[in-house]
Amino acid sequence: MATPTATYRINQILDLTLAGTSLTALILIIARFGFFLTPEIKSIVGQLTELALAIFVGQVILRATFGDRNLLAYIRHQPLELVMLLVSVLYFADLPLVNRALAWLVPGIRLDQVGLLYLAVIQVMLIVVTLVSQAKKYQWFRRASLDPGMIMILSFLLAGGLGTGLLLLPKATVHSISVTDALFTAVSAICVTGLLPFNLAETFTPLGQFFILILIQAGGLGIMTLTMMFMTLFPGSLSVKEKILLAKLISEDNIGLVRDLLRKIIVVTISIEAIGAVALYIAARGFDQPIDMNVFYHCIFHSISAFCNAGMTLFQGSYDHMGANAFSAILMVLIICGGLGFPVISEIVTQARSRYPMRIYNVSVATKLVLVSSVCLLSVGTVVVALLEGRESLSHLPFGEQLFHASFFSVTTRTAGFSSWSLAEVSAPTLIFLMMLMWIGASPGSTGGGIKTLNFAVVLLSLRQHIKGHQGLNVFRRRISPESVLRSFNIVTLTMMMSAASMALLFFIEPQLEALPLAFEIVSAIGTVGLSVGVTEQLSDLGKYLIVLLMFVGRIGPYTLLVGLYMEHYKQRHRYLEEDLQLF
């Protein structure tokens, strides 16, 4: 057993070794997957890969040897290290059965590439931790109190930049694309919007589609949520300050429940997406045909895209070749689940598993408002779209099909962005009504955008109470705090002002395009919906940059953006005398 001082120095050396190995792995994985290499360079990359894996295994053994625990105890407390160690051992053992199984599950991927990917992820985490630790040495950083809003802003900016770089790799696209289009696509994915200046399947290779899928998943869950989840896999890695920050990010009052809540979010998300992918595959292929991994990959992509309300698709047009209505119905269920938000889903699951399931007085006011407003919006949306388009674009379909397509559009306009028929065929009144649905959006804590159903409900109910002469807002035998009502009005007002100003600016930038399609594009970007009347690819670079900005602001939220940028937060220590104003 080494002395504490010797153990500390050994761990320092091993930390530096792991950092260097991880940086090498990051470079190797970018070179191997992103660029076209000559046979000589491929051979060198392969040898360096084996060396990186061997160094990783060696440092794990050394940490366990000179640490307080033996190797088995050390690995048991480090789950990711165990997975990586297993991958390395299987790779060096070169078992044909393992390689064939991996080739069947994920065509084109080998065990050494899995190991490289893990080390590359470690390096990204190390870079973030190193930058933060170095920044803390400076006085200005210590004085700056970064609140959750600013953390969210910076994380989405960083992810958008990294995504742009990945999509510009030679192997990510079928043909080269401009920096503007790469930035547009990356921001659209990370902000789970779905607007694209070209067809996704025809422009990006499977590697590029994989990058987009990762961006969608990260944007849907929240980048900081994924980062903190990664850190929680290492015992003791989250400080009290970090737990408090994360509790604010995920709206959890008890910091002791942060780790459990994070795991619940990840588990619920992966479970719903996995069930959705299997259901989509069954709808597309049935039970009587052999497994087609290409179709299953498409189902995984659409399951994640639907649950995260991204609306990005690998198909052009309808889903007739994938089971049509059954495929679309499953997408609708995934969109609704993602649009409700994790707090609502968690409360529904908790109530369903309790001794007295779904007792109305046990359900929070927020969940009741979200559920009631969602049902009302979906129902009203279905009826109105069916009435408006029953004699227009849907006139050739039977009544049942008309209702189905109307309900699909009522669901998908709530920030999802999938389309069962071309919006170019839709009448102007329907487009304006769909803009209203897109503007309202999904629910708080969800993967969707918009002003949120809860804010919409609070504003309507508050107006109703005020018109009737009642003081305050009472809902479901509970009084809503004035601060919550004011926040809802602020969000609605800011979004309306931003939408109007953005429309005027885009009309000025793109005078050759019609006003209604441009206005639809603006609302779609702010609501992170992704539906378009077909003008996205016709926008100039300046117009695309404006849409990029609106997608970013729409995902963060204009209210959160302003609060995050305004750094001088302080409590008002006094109150002035009140005075009534003559407002009408």
- pLDDT at res. 100: 61
The C-alpha angle with vertex 183 and arms to 179 and 186, in degrees rounded to 5, equals: 135
Q: With 60 as the cut, is the pLDDT of residue 303 above it?
A: yes
pLDDT of 281 strictly over 60 = yes
Give the burial class of 125: count Cβ atoms within 10 A of its Cβ; 0-12 exposed, 13-18 middle, 19 or more buried.
Answer: middle
Q: Which string of DSSP letters, residue by residue, matches 66-90?
A: HSSS-HHHHHHT-HHHHHHHHHHHH
User: What pLDDT, on the 0 to 100 scale, is given for residue 162?
Assistant: 87
Longest dimension (CA), the chain: 83
**Weakest mean pLDDT among 224-233, 494-503, 571-580:** 224-233
User: Per-residue pLDDT averaged across 183-199, rounded?
Assistant: 91
Q: Which helix (H) or strand (E) holds 478?
A: strand 478-480
Q: How confident is the model at residue 220 (pLDDT cuts 50, 70, 90)?
A: confident
**Tokens describing residue 572:** 């008002």
Q: Is the pLDDT of residue 514 over 80?
A: yes
DSSP β-bridge partners for residue 474: 479
Domain for residue 134, yes or no?
Answer: yes
Q: What pairs with residue 173 in β-bridges?
A: 204
pLDDT at 233 over 50: no
Q: Name which of 433, 440, 412 is nearest 554 in CA terms.
A: 440
* Stretch 447-456: mean pLDDT: 87
Q: Is the pLDDT assigned to residue 2 strictly greater than 60?
A: no
Rounded CA-CA distance 136/146 in Å is 12
Q: Give the mean model confidence (pLDDT) for residues 514-541.
A: 92
What are the strands, taking DSSP E only, across 334-403?
none
Residue 414 lies in a domain: no
Contact between 216 and 417 (Cβ < 8 Å): no
Query: Predicted confidence band at 223 (pLDDT cuts at 50, 70, 90)?
Result: low
- Does some domain include residue 338? no
- What digits encode the pLDDT tens for the residues 43-96? 888 788 778 778 877 877 777 676 656 666 666 666 656 666 666 666 666 656
333-337, 400-404, 576-580: lowest mean pLDDT where? 576-580
Give the pLDDT band of residue 183 (cuts 50, 70, 90): very high
Residue 1, both tokens: 């057993």
pTM for the full predicted model: 0.82
Residue 294 included in any domain: no
In total, how many domains does the chain have?
1
Position 27 confidence tier, pLDDT thresholds 50, 70, 90: confident
Residue 365 covered by a domain? no
- Give me the half-sphere count of Cα atoms (radius 13 Å) on the Cβ side of residue 559: 17
With respect to residue 231, please indicate whether it lies within any of the assigned structural domains: no
Using CB atoms within 10 Å of the CB of residue 551, give its burial: 0 to 12 exposed, 13 to 18 middle, 19+ buried. buried
Give a yes or no: residue 83 inside a domain: yes
Ramachandran region of residue 58, left (φ > 0), alpha (ψ -120 to 50) or beta? alpha
Q: What percent of the chain has pLDDT over 70?
A: 72
Give the residue numbers spanning the domain of 132. Answer: 1-138
33 domain residue, yes or no = yes
SS3 call for 473: strand
Task: Return the number of other C-beta atoms located less than 10 Å from residue 66's C-beta.
Answer: 17
CA pair distance 254, 243, nearest whole angstrom: 10
Torsion of CA 127, 133, 139, 140, to 10 degrees: 40
Question: What is the structure's pLDDT at 137?
Answer: 47
pLDDT of residue 43: 86
Q: Are 211 and 172 in contact (CB under 8 A)?
A: yes
Q: Is 361 exposed, middle or buried (0-12, 13-18, 19+ CB in 10 A)?
A: exposed
Task: Check pLDDT > 50 for residue 581.
Answer: yes
Cα–Cα separations (whole angstroms), residue 264 to 81, 268, 272: 22, 6, 12
For residue 36, pLDDT beyond 60: yes
Residue 522 three-state SS: helix
Rounded to an integer, the average pLDDT of 488-506 is: 93
End-to-end Cα distance, the chain: 82
pLDDT score for 106:
56
Q: Buried b / exposed e across 382-393, counting CB within 10 Å, b at 16+?
A: bebbbebbeeeb
User: What is residue 129's predicted lDDT score, i.e. its pLDDT?
Assistant: 46
Residues 438 and 459: their CA atoms lie apart, in Å, by 17
Q: For residues 5-27, b (16+ Cβ closer than 10 Å) or e, as one string?
A: eeeeebeeebeeebbebbbbbbe
- pLDDT of residue 110 exceeding 80: no
